Structure 1
Amino acid sequence: MELRHLRYFIAVADAGSLTVAAEQKLHTSQPSLSRQIRDLEQEVGVALMNRSVHGVELTPAGKAFLDHARMAIHQAEAAKEAALSAAQPAKPTFALGFLSGAEIDLLPEVDRVLRAAFPGIDIRLSSDYSPALAKALMRRKLDAAFIRREETMGELASRRVRTDPLIFVLPSDHRLASQTAIAPEEVLNEMFYLPSKSAPAVRRIVLEYFNRVGIDLKPEHEVHNVVHAISMITSTRAVMLLPAYTKRYLPETITTRPVMGEAPTLDLVLAYHKANTSPVLKLLLSRVGKLAGTPS
């Protein structure tokens, strides 16, 4: 009994017709297919199908045989895949996370560095909020991630990649847009939005900055991401402090201005679990200095 006999039998059983199976599924002649089915029945020793002008119908023996035939085909295909996999060297895999937006600057160089050293590497990418990426690192679901330094890093270690300044983001026709730089006290009477707790590091830096310059900032509104920020700034003519890299997402109706004086900043780091001994991670950490770039 050969695998082709089993495939022919399954095709006929699924089609309910020798003619349909021959012409549409197996691309062979109907007489040839009938002969293959007869050979199979002779080897099994019982009739597997009843033939009539209306097509074919499986006998009780045929129905029992069909389930085992499907299993045999499946196991044969699995055996082939296992053999092919064993004959090929295992590809290194590396799960890498990016704070949403950071991949635009960093991914091309990261991809080049890793593929040059590990040809065929399977780089599995994810993009999310920094706290979510930190949790994935702690659960060992990621090998490394470009994130903000969270207040609680637990078993995580990190290397600084770059420092991002914060800038004021506001409508292009806002009264403050005519200035080359904006002093913090000038936004006191403006509608001001604060990043929500989904971006705790940015939120913390903004609040610390205003506290440092002696301004008691009590914003009543929050935004959850850059898209939400664009919507609220446009619709309510609000002002925000956001990392400089976000300017690449802004439409023409929104502009940015630097902070007058010493601007608040926050670091982008490459974080990883302290127990991770991956050679891919080791290489990436050794190239952190070359990955840093000024966000445009």
Structure 2
Amino acid sequence: MELRHLRYFIAVAEEGSLTVAAEKRLHTAQPSLSRQLRDLEYEVGTPLFSRGARGVELTPAGKAFLDHARLAVGQAAEAIQAARRAARPPRETFSVGFLTGQEVDWLPHVTRVLRAHLPTIEFKVVSLYSPDVGDALQSGEIDLGFLRVEPRPDVTYQVIAKEPLVAILPSSHRLARRKSVAPADLEGEIFVGFSDVPHVLRDVVDDYLKRNGVDVTPSHHIDNFAMGMSLVASTGGVALLPAYVEPLLPWSVVSRPLVGKPPTIDLVVGYRKDNPSPILQAFLACIDQVIKAGPAGQRSKA
């Protein structure tokens, strides 16, 4: 019994017609197909089809044979793929982790720098909270990270951008009519603060408010910018977020620059110096170009 016999049998069983199976599925002559099926039935020792004026139907034996035939053909195809995979040399994996939202600005730079390497490697991208990116770098789950400075043993950081903070508020908010927002304008407003997850951003905002003598008590504490935008829109409150979120704002929320010199938060590239990946070394060799290019996204000017 040969695999082609099983493929012919499956095609006829599924089409219910020798003519259709021969012409549309198998691209062979019907007499040849009929002969192959008779050979199969002879080897099995029992009829697999009953032939009538309206085509062919499976006999009880044919129905029992069909599932096993499909399994055998499927296993043969998988055996071929397994052999081909084993014959190919393993592809090097290079993984990059982004603080959620930053991939919009920085992934284009990564793919541009590594363009020559991408066809020969398995390139993976993940989006996580900043502390989780730091953990993934430390454990070796990822090779490169775009995140805040998260102190982790053996992880090296290099600042690639200092992102200004902006005020995020509802489109209908009274402060939305102004070109910029002063620290004192935040007094008495519903203020959306931060949880322990974005702790670097929380510390920057707290320091900014303290330096400007602004006393606010957050009504909510957020983990990420998406939660922040939702709460700003639903509560009518105000949040201070890095400017990279501006292109991601929905119509119901706008941004306004802060009066004077705004506070900034560092965006860094993190990696382990003991990582031997030549792909990582290729990226680090071009990191000055990445810094000079800056964010790839276009900032909203609303």
TM-score interval (norm. to shorter): 0.7 to 0.9
Counterpart residue number, 1:211: 210
One-letter amino acid matched to 2:228 = A
Displacement of 1:56 in angstroms is: 3.6
Relative distance call for 1:5 and 1:265 in structure 2 (3 A) is: same
Structure 1: gaps of 5 or more residues: none
Instruction: Answer whether contact 2:22 2:29 (CA < 8 A) is retained.
Output: yes
Alignment of 1:182-221 (within 5 A): 182-221=181-220
Paired residues, number: 292
CA RMSD, 1 decimal: 3.4
One-letter amino acid matched to 1:123 = F
Structure 2: gaps of 5 or more residues: none
Relative distance call for 1:171 and 1:31 in structure 2 (3 A) is: same
Displacement of 1:8 in angstroms is: 0.7
1:138-178 Cα shifts (integer Å, max 9, x gaps): 4544332211223x535543332222121223346655456
Counterpart residue number, 1:35: 35
TM-score (norm 2): 0.78
Counterpart residue number, 2:270: 271
One-letter amino acid matched to 2:162 = T
Name the CA distance, whole Å, in 2 between partners of 1:190 and 1:198: 23
- Alignment partner of 2:114: what SS? helix
TM-score (norm 1): 0.79
Counterpart residue number, 2:56: 55
One-letter amino acid matched to 2:280 = L
Instruction: Answer whether contact 2:179 2:256 (CA < 8 A) is retained.
Output: no
Counterpart residue number, 1:116: 116
Name the CA distance, whole Å, in 2 between partners of 1:48 and 1:209: 85
Name the CA distance, whole Å, in 1 between partners of 2:230 and 2:65: 63
Counterpart residue number, 1:169: 168
One-letter amino acid matched to 2:32 = S
Displacement of 1:111 in angstroms is: 0.5
Relative distance call for 1:258 and 1:45 in structure 2 (3 A) is: closer
One-letter amino acid matched to 1:282 = Q
Name the CA distance, whole Å, in 1 between partners of 2:122 and 2:35: 47
Counterpart residue number, 1:222: 221
Instruction: Answer whether contact 2:168 2:253 (CA < 8 A) is retained.
Output: no
Identity of aligned residues (%): 44
Name the CA distance, whole Å, in 2 between partners of 1:13 and 1:234: 59
Counterpart residue number, 2:285: 286
Name the CA distance, whole Å, in 2 between partners of 1:154 and 1:48: 71
